[in-house]
Amino acid sequence: MAATDILGTSDAAHLLRRAGFGASTRDLVHFAPLTRAAAVAELLAPKPRRAKPPASARDTAATLSGMQRWWLRQMLAPRTRLQERLALFWSGHFATSWSELPDSVRLARQNMLFRSLGLGPFRTLLYEVTRDGAMLLFRDGASSEQPQANENYAIALLGLYALGPTDAAGMPNYTQTDVGQLARALTGYRLGPKDAFGHVEADAFDSGLKTLFAGNTAETSGNLGVEDATGVQFPAATNVLDLLFAHRDSQARPTLARFLARQLFEFFAYPDPDLALVDQLADAFVASGYVTGALVQAILEHDAFYGANARTSTVKSPVELALQSLNVLGAKSSLVALPAALADMGMALFDPPLVDGWNRGGDWLDAGLALARIDFAQALAAGRSGSTYALSPTRIFDPRATDDAALVDGLLARLDVVPSATSRQVLLDYLAGAVGLTPKDRVERKLRGVVALALSLPEFQRH
């Protein structure tokens, strides 16, 4: 397969599940005849945006759920789906949580960074995140000053945001000394109560000699930093953000490119890609000058992204499960109930629970989280009003279907899921229990019930 080949329905549905949040029937009609390259180009095309999450000076639970609802609406908008996908990725990558920082204005602003710069040059995003008000408060950068730097942001920058603790050979990418030296270079940021971004104050900045990455290709000594008191960035030779890009792992490969290529590939496709594939993607990332959109393009056009492994190897996140379900079933929702349902399933937006964001892959396989998924499937299937979910069985099921098997198979095809023969038979048996019901009761009880069962199929939880 090549980027010039026509997608077809199956690949188009797969692409729109991963590069977006699921495909409506109309989406499939549009994307199926496109080539891979044309489809990916359309998804990647820049879409300037002005709307912002509805932050408020009163940081109440209602403010948070309003922001969550707003974000879900953005994700459901077909035009900007890939942009929102990246916003979601970066929001987990640079996890900054409402639980620890209930500051909706700052979290909204940070979220807009992930949206506007998510597909752009990673170097720019890294700089903006480094001086971002929410991050400076969340990781204590706003209180780190010479001569006693604190290491919170430095250790996250190295271990979570840019390099990862170890490389593909299991060798450490940096030492405790590097953490301390980097922390010194990041001192000096100050943040006023209304400031969007921090600025460096000369008095608070440690301008002494620092040595970063001793023994590495990127080893540099000097007055290292990010920006000076006038807001001008340090030249690349002494700018610690640039030194992260210059870092090479124990296999002499660009550490940052490998790290992000792997992270993004796993987010879009499947866990544990082999190293040759990671390196292909990392090369494309480097060749582009570290433009995230170029890396994403390389992933979405790659054969590995369309292979069997990419369709069956990981578990849908709650956001993926919920929005795909709404999209493929054509359900309407004011999204009032969804933020809480997502939180129950373990994915409160704007509030990633852990330093590395939300769960991924096998982390979702818990009894309590599984029960919450069943609960969501029932609520969606039962939904009759737009205030929760409005789902119309008569629009989902083919009115011309002559028997139960046709109804069930039509639903499974719509969900693009192939269950085990046993599970399919369970759905049929459940419908067969509708004998003697009025046609209306059959629709309201049994057809909605089959939707709830189908949305809970193990095969529908994975992708």
Confirm or reject binding of residue 297 to other proteins (CB under 8 A): no
Compare residues 197 and 430 and give the one whose CB is closer to other proteins.
430
Compare residues 129 and 179 and give the one whose CB is closer to other proteins.
179
- Rounded Cα–Cα distance for residues 89 and 357 (Å): 9
Q: In the complex, what is the shortest distance from the CB of residue 450 to other proteins, in angstroms, rounded to a whole number?
A: 9
Compare residues 129 and 427 and give the one whose CB is closer to other proteins.
427
- Rounded Cα–Cα distance for residues 101 and 347 (Å): 17
Confirm or reject binding of residue 355 to other proteins (CB under 8 A): yes
Q: How many residues bind other proteins (CB under 8 A)?
A: 69
Residue 57 has a CB neighbour count (10 Å cut-off) of: 8
Confirm or reject binding of residue 318 to other proteins (CB under 8 A): no
Residue of the chain from 7, 423, 447, 455 that contacts other proteins (CB under 8 A): 423
45-104: contacts with other proteins (CB under 8 A): 100
- Encoded one letter per residue, x for contact with other proteins by CB under 8 A and - for no contact, window 321-340 reads --------------------
Q: In the complex, what is the shortest distance from the CB of residue 198 to other proteins, in angstroms, rounded to a whole number?
A: 14
Residue of the chain from 59, 398, 409, 459 that contacts other proteins (CB under 8 A): 459
Stretch that binds other proteins, among 10-18, 192-200, 287-295, 375-383 (CB under 8 A): 375-383
Confirm or reject binding of residue 214 to other proteins (CB under 8 A): no
Cβ pair 96, 107 in contact under 8 A: yes
Confirm or reject binding of residue 303 to other proteins (CB under 8 A): no
138-197: contacts with other proteins (CB under 8 A): 139-140, 143-145, 148-152, 155, 159, 165, 176-177, 179-180, 183
DSSP label at residue 270: -
Compare residues 51 and 371 and give the one whose CB is closer to other proteins.
371
Give the list of residues 6+ apart from residue 29 with CB closer than 8 angstroms, or none: none
- Rounded Cα–Cα distance for residues 446 and 428 (Å): 10
Compare residues 303 and 441 and give the one whose CB is closer to other proteins.
441
| Amino acid in position 300 | L
- Rounded Cα–Cα distance for residues 425 and 406 (Å): 12
Q: C-alpha dihedral over 157, 163, 166, 167, to 10 degrees?
A: 180
Q: In the complex, what is the shortest distance from the CB of residue 365 to other proteins, in angstroms, rounded to a whole number?
A: 4
What's the Rg (C-alpha) of the chain? 24
Phi (first) and psi of residue 45, to 5 degrees: -55, 135
- Rounded Cα–Cα distance for residues 461 and 364 (Å): 10
- Encoded one letter per residue, x for contact with other proteins by CB under 8 A and - for no contact, window 236-255 reads --------------------
Q: C-alpha dihedral over 44, 266, 318, 293, to 10 degrees?
A: -20
Residue 214 has a CB neighbour count (10 Å cut-off) of: 14
- Rounded Cα–Cα distance for residues 293 and 358 (Å): 23
Residue of the chain from 34, 212, 322, 452 that contacts other proteins (CB under 8 A): 452
Stretch that binds other proteins, among 56-64, 237-245, 282-290, 378-386 (CB under 8 A): 378-386
C-alpha distances out from residue 42 to 36, 46, 49, 80, 217, Å? 10, 9, 16, 10, 39
Confirm or reject binding of residue 430 to other proteins (CB under 8 A): yes
Compare residues 289 and 433 and give the one whose CB is closer to other proteins.
433
Confirm or reject binding of residue 211 to other proteins (CB under 8 A): no
**H-only helix segments in 247-358:** 255-268, 275-287, 292-301, 303-306, 309-312, 318-329, 338-344
- Rounded Cα–Cα distance for residues 327 and 41 (Å): 22
Confirm or reject binding of residue 314 to other proteins (CB under 8 A): yes
Confirm or reject binding of residue 365 to other proteins (CB under 8 A): yes
- Rounded Cα–Cα distance for residues 212 and 238 (Å): 10
Q: In the complex, what is the shortest distance from the CB of residue 143 to other proteins, in angstroms, rounded to a whole number?
A: 4
- DSSP H or E stretch at residue 348: none
- Encoded one letter per residue, x for contact with other proteins by CB under 8 A and - for no contact, window 103-142 reads ------------------------------------xx--
**Joined tokens for residue 124:** 């720019």
- DSSP H or E stretch at residue 288: none
- List interacting residues with other proteins (CB under 8 A): 100, 139-140, 143-145, 148-152, 155, 159, 165, 176-177, 179-180, 183, 312-315, 344, 346, 353-356, 359, 362-372, 374-375, 378, 381-382, 384, 419-423, 426-427, 429-430, 433, 445-446, 448-449, 452-453, 456-459, 461-462
